[in-house]
Amino acid sequence: MIHLLVLLPFFGAFILWLISDNRLRPKFLPGIALLHLLVTLYLVFTTQTTHHNGWILLDPLGKVSLLGISTLFCTCSFYTVGYLSYRPRRPNRVLCLGMLLCLAAMSLVCLSQNLGLMWVAIEATTIAMAPLIYFNRNARSIEATWKYLLICSVGIALALLGLLFLGYATHLSGLGATLLLPELLQKGEMLDRHWLHVAFIFMLTGFGTKLGLAPLHTWKPDAYGEAPGLVGALLSGGLVTCAFLAIARVYQISLATAVLHSFVQQLLLVMGLLSMAVAAMFMARQNDFKRMLAYSSVEHVGIMAIGLGLGKGAIFSVFYHLLANGFAKGVLFLSAGNIHRAFGGKTTDVAQGALRRCPWSGGMFLAGFIAVTGSPPFALFISEFGIANSAFSQGRYWSGGLFLLFLAIVFAGMALTVLPVVMGKPVPGQGETPYHEQPLTVVPPLFMLLLLLWLGIYPPESLLLLMQEAAMLLEVQP
């Protein structure tokens, strides 16, 4: 059944390609996505065995990542039907095909135990997502698409070099060149230290570009700002999860090489704090609320990098944050897409008073802002509190203090953009469109908002146990 995670969306994309009716095609998306989610739920909570000589396995790291990706995609697929109903004349064959191919590639990332296969799957997500960013087909969207392709491709190329250096390190040690994760973990202490050092730098830089860590984040503001809201949700919740999983695999290998583990931790800690600082700087007085969400993504990948850099004690909170961040970004990007369509613009001088013109989307955008800034009772409060508590309990007062300072600046910066959009007064005669809210564009972000609330108040025991199992794979035992 594990193969269905890749085969269902792959062959689903082929079927949708054959459907000629522009209105009928999107209606098949939720069915395929729902089947994928049901298979995911079954596999996540059952014991897995390896396949294809150890290349395929759904371990706890992959399970947490896949659960977040599949849930987000399923929710976005329902939203897609409502979104495309507003644009009946726009061809959507490439959009539907790209979404399903991206889901197949993201699923393969979660299943891969061979780092080479994982790299191929991540590169496939890059290619599949590019046409989706260009969906609006204007000058700014094609500029954003090319920037996304060029910068991410360079990053992925650097990651490939890192993998080649890693394989060469195993070859020099006389163990036979391999990129299989179990073998690398078993033989880590025997690998050549010099080539490992170089390999880790290239892999962290390459996968960090895909993740969007500063200063490698420059593709994000344009791509997130110009893509449709549902594509922004998949970028910030799906592709970020895949890139983080790749970073987590690199981190996992560093655990087997105790000499270099502290180096990887320090590098992640520095890049995480830098990402939060950059996000805080550019989020202040940001008049484009979709670009603001891009910098919010930079902030949150920085938070996850800081958690990895802190190590044991913060790892569980990192996985909690990974799951919650995907849902929070889904709420924000989908509701932001509705507001953009209601006002015909995405800047604060056009979009004002969303609570009056589109009350459901405006209310969810405000609630999403409260959730994504780590306010109780939402799930991100728990994860950010856990990371901050770990920093101070380890005696890293400077790191913990900067972490809290940047969180406060980001909160203030986002508020200066979100509050006028949501609670301001609509400008008479400006930004009026025939848009009206409908269930398929309101219920999906509302569902994810309720998930955030559920995870913040009463998370299921089985999910907590799964995240604990994932955290144990990345924790140094005393």
pLDDT tens per residue across span 197-256 = 899 999 999 999 999 999 999 999 999 999 999 999 999 999 999 999 999 999 988 888
pLDDT tens-digit profile of 17-67? 999 888 899 999 999 999 999 999 999 988 777 777 888 999 999 999 999
pLDDT tens-digit profile of 109-142? 999 999 999 999 999 999 999 999 999 888 999 9
Query: C-alpha distances in angstroms, 334 versus 169, 290, 337, 438?
Result: 45, 10, 5, 13
- Please state, in angstroms and rounded to a whole number, the distance separating the CA atoms of residues 55 and 425: 56
> What pLDDT was estimated at residue 152?
93
pLDDT tens-digit profile of 146-197? 999 999 999 999 999 999 999 888 888 776 778 888 888 887 778 878 888 8
Residue at token pair 């409502």: 82
**Residue 431 pLDDT level (bands cut at 50, 70, 90):** low
Q: How many domains does the chain have?
A: 1
Residue 151 lies in a domain: yes
> What pLDDT was estimated at residue 434?
77
CA dihedral angle for residue 206, residue 127, residue 11, residue 77, rounded to 10 degrees: 90
> What pLDDT was estimated at residue 89?
82
> What pLDDT was estimated at residue 213?
93
**Residue 380 pLDDT level (bands cut at 50, 70, 90):** very high
Three-state DSSP class for residue 45: coil
Residue range 316-322: mean pLDDT, rounded: 95
Considering 42-51, 54-63, 276-285, 448-457, the range whose residues carry the highest mean pLDDT is: 448-457
> What pLDDT was estimated at residue 45?
86
- Contacts for 377 with CB less than 8 Å, ≥ 6 apart: 453, 456, 457
Percent of the chain with pLDDT over 70: 98
CA dihedral angle for residue 102, residue 103, residue 104, residue 106, rounded to 10 degrees: 80
Residue 91 lies in a domain: yes
Residue 163 lies in a domain: yes
Residue at token pair 């992640």: 268
Higher-confidence residue of 257 and 148: namely: 148
**Residue 292 pLDDT level (bands cut at 50, 70, 90):** very high
Residue range 341-362: mean pLDDT, rounded: 88
Residue at token pair 């995911």: 40
Cβ–Cβ under 8 Å, residues 387 and 317: yes
Residue 478 lies in a domain: no
Residue 212 lies in a domain: yes
Put simply, whether the predicted model's pTM sits higher than 0.85 gets the answer yes
Residue 364 lies in a domain: yes
Q: Average per-residue pLDDT in the chain?
A: 91
Three-state DSSP class for residue 93: helix
Percent of the chain with pLDDT over 90: 71
- Contacts for 130 with CB less than 8 Å, ≥ 6 apart: 145, 148, 149
Residue 348 lies in a domain: yes
What domain range includes position 283?
A: 4-472
- Please state, in angstroms and rounded to a whole number, the distance separating the CA atoms of residues 124 and 284: 34
**Residue 478 pLDDT level (bands cut at 50, 70, 90):** very low
> What pLDDT was estimated at residue 30?
95
**Residue 476 pLDDT level (bands cut at 50, 70, 90):** low
Residue 426 lies in a domain: yes
- Please state, in angstroms and rounded to a whole number, the distance separating the CA atoms of residues 44 and 55: 18
Please give the angle made by the CA atoms of 390, 396 and 255, to the nearest 5 degrees: 65
> What pLDDT was estimated at residue 467?
94
